Amino acid sequence: MSTRGRILAAEAVGTAILVLGGPGTAIFAVDKVGTLGVALAFGLSLLVAVYLIGAISGCHINPAVTIGMWAAKRTPGGDVPWYLGGQIIGAALASGLIWAIVRTGENAGAVGATREALFSGASNGYGSHSPTGYELGAVIIAEVVFTAILVLVVMGATRSTMPAGFAAIPIGFTLALVHLISIPIDNTSVNPARSFATAIFADGFAFEQLWVFIVFPIIGGVIGAVVWQMLSGDKFSFSLSMPKGFVRTSAPAAKKAPAKRGPAKRGPAKRAPAKKARKR
C-alpha cells in the first residue's frame, strides 16, 4: 500500500475509534456516566488512537487539526485530501455501526424517530438545539477558541524537545477538558468529522447547522497554528518517530550504503635478507 493509502486507512480507523468512543458514549451511556463520562470518553478515545496510528499517519483524525498542521507547514498540501478523505470515511463507518447497534438492540422495535432522537442528542447545535440554549455567537466563539487550544497543545506536545512517548497523554486530556467546558454550550465539536458523524442519522437541524461546526473549528485550527508559530519562534523542527512527533512527516532520506571495498592489492612479498654464514 502506498504512503498516502496508509494515511487514508489509518485516519479512517482512528476517526472511527473517536466516533465510537465519544458520540457512542453520548448515545448509549450518557444517562449512566453523565457529562464527565462523555468528556473522558472523547479524551481516552483520542489517546488510544494516537498510540495506535500515530506512527502511521500522525493521528490527526480531525480536519481542523489537519488544516492547522498544513498551515504550520507540518503536513504537505498533497497529503491533506487523503487525511480529510480518511476522516470522513471513518466518521461515516462508525456512525453506521452505532446506528446498527441501536437498530438491533433494545430499540429494534421502536420507530425511526427514536433513533433520530438518540443521534440528535449527541449532535452539535445552537439556539434551541444547544443543550442549554446558547445562540450562534456564543457557539462560534467557543468553537474557535477551544479548537485553537487543542491545536496549540498538539503542536506543543509533539515538539521534538518534548519527552518521548507522552504526546498522547496531554492531547487526550486536553480534548477531555475542552468537552467538560463546552458540552453545555453546543455538545462540543472542535472536530468537523465528529459533527458530520452524528448528523448523518439525526434530525434535519443537524445538517442545517453543520456548516458552523465545519467552518469555525477549521478557523480555530489555523489560529492555533499561527499563535504557536508566534509563541515558539521555531521552524517546526520535530521528530519523525511517533512518540516525539505526533505529526507524520516525509520519510527520512535513505542512508547511503558504504562503498564496498575490494580486496587490498598486495605487492610481491618481500623476502628477508639471508643471513650470512659465520666463518669458523
Helices (H), 72-203: 80-104, 112-121, 136-157, 168-186, 192-199
Indicate left, alpha or beta for 277 from its phi (over 0: left) and psi (-120 to 50: alpha): beta
pTM above 0.85?
A: no
Give me the chain's average pLDDT, please.
85
Q: Exposed e or buried b for every residue in 227-266, given b needs 16+ CB within 10 A? A: ebbeeeeeebebbeebbbbbbbeeeeeeeeeeeeeeeeee
Give yes or no for residue 34 having a pLDDT over 70: yes
* CB 209, CB 218: distance < 8 Å: no
> 135-145: string of b/e by CB count within 10 Å (b at 16+)?
eeebbbebbbb
- Quick one: pLDDT band at residue 165, thresholds 50, 70, 90? confident
Domains of the chain and CATH, by start: 3-232 (1.20.1080.10)
Could you tell me if 69 and 174 are in contact, meaning their C-beta atoms sit under 8 angstroms apart?
no
The three grid cell numbers given for residue 188, joined into one nine-digit string: 462540543
Predicted local distance difference test score (pLDDT) of residue 250: 40
Is 278's pLDDT higher than 80? Answer: no
Q: Is residue 203 packed enough to be buried (19+ CB in 10 Å), middle (13-18) or exposed (0-12)?
A: middle
Res. 237: pLDDT tops 90: no
Q: How confident is the model at residue 238, as a pLDDT?
A: 39
Residues 17 and 45 sit within 8 Å (Cβ to Cβ): yes
Sign of the Cα pseudo-torsion (35, 41, 47, 50, in order): negative
